[in-house]
Amino acid sequence: MNEYMKHKVDLINKTLLELYSKDTALNMILAQAMNYSLTAGGKRLRPVMLMAAADTVGADGDKYVRIACALEMIHTYSLIHDDLPAMDNDDYRRGKLTNHKVYGDAMAILAGDALLTMAFEVISSEAGIDPAVLLRVLWEISHAAGPEGMVGGQALDLLAENKQITLSELRQLHSAKTGALFCASVRAGGILAGATSSELAALTDYAREFGLAFQITDDILDVIGDDKKIGKPVGSDEKNHKSTYVSLLSLDEAKHLAEQSIANAVSALAPFGAKAEFLSVLVKKLLARQN
């Protein structure tokens, strides 16, 4: 597990550095702002999951590292914008000052815009992949990142501040804001690897349960986590008057719901047998995560 993860993350980090050189940038400050957040660390979960899904289906996931890195660009853009004063107004991310605290609000917005746009340039310029397959992957990722996915979920999140929403509404919000990009990551890996319709359905079920478990454990960490390990102050959800799985249920009930989602995710992988070992272990580790 650790060796597999290290190999994937090292490959992703190496490729990210190669994709955009500050030395050839039109604007050095913009390039610095983009790279400040893109190279700030992180678990690289979404790109790893794309490659792991391809491995699970039986392909070589490493071949799709550039497309996987495009997912990390989209994720990083979303974090830059989430941290802005008009959004969550956070000062720290991954133990460092947030992008707007270093480069200012305007440049942080542009850095996010640039990363989002560049992600689709990277995907569409990928050689050696059937154009029809690449077009399908482009649709999956753009749909998950847009108004029916991540951005739509973020809008729901903003509208839910200072309100008591239902558990059903909370689940809908996070299935878009958090879950959609996880789902696109896994589905894109499966599509690139030539997954059958039944294999893709199983991977989709896994990804949806993974996204739910991830969000629940994120809510739990915001209550009982360690600032230094998380990389930002805990209690931001309460500060922003947001409904969470902990606030709507309880700490114990939220943990139980996460356990149920993890069990469902593992069950969804049954058709793949031993080939899905990494994805299975990955979701099981969510309950023990500290950041």
Report the pLDDT averaged over residues 127-136: 96
User: Which two structure tokens, joined as six digits, stand for 123?
Assistant: 């995907």
What's residue 164's pLDDT? 86
pLDDT digits (tens, 9 = 90+) for 66-87: 999 999 999 999 999 999 999 9
What's residue 144's pLDDT? 98
Reported confidence tier of residue 50, pLDDT bands at 50, 70, 90: very high
Phi and psi at residue 92, to the nearest 5°: -130, 145
Enumerate the β-bridge partners of residue 93. Answer: 96
Reported confidence tier of residue 243, pLDDT bands at 50, 70, 90: confident
Give the residue among 98, 87, 46, 89 at the shortest CA–CA distance from 68. 46
> In the predicted model, is pLDDT for residue 161 greater than 70?
yes
| Domain total in the chain | 1
Q: Residue 36 belongs to a domain with what CATH number? A: 1.10.600.10
What long-range pairs does 39-44 form, CB within 8 A, spacing at least 24? 39/13, 40/93, 40/94, 40/96, 41/94, 41/95, 42/72, 42/76, 42/94, 43/9, 43/291, 44/8, 44/9, 44/12, 44/13, 44/72
> In the predicted model, is pLDDT for residue 35 greater than 70?
yes
| 41-50, 108-117, 217-226, 268-277: least confidently modelled range | 217-226
**Chain length of the chain:** 291
What's residue 110's pLDDT? 97
Reported confidence tier of residue 41, pLDDT bands at 50, 70, 90: confident
pLDDT digits (tens, 9 = 90+) for 189-218: 999 999 999 999 999 999 999 999 999 999
What's residue 214's pLDDT? 95
What's residue 27's pLDDT? 85
Reported confidence tier of residue 25, pLDDT bands at 50, 70, 90: low
Enumerate the β-bridge partners of residue 92. Answer: 97
Percent of the chain whose pLDDT exceeds 90: 82
> In the predicted model, is pLDDT for residue 290 greater than 80?
no
Reported confidence tier of residue 227, pLDDT bands at 50, 70, 90: low
- Range of 205's domain? 2-288
> How far is Cα 155 from Cα 147, in angstroms, rounded to an integer?
9
Report the pLDDT averaged over residues 148-153: 97
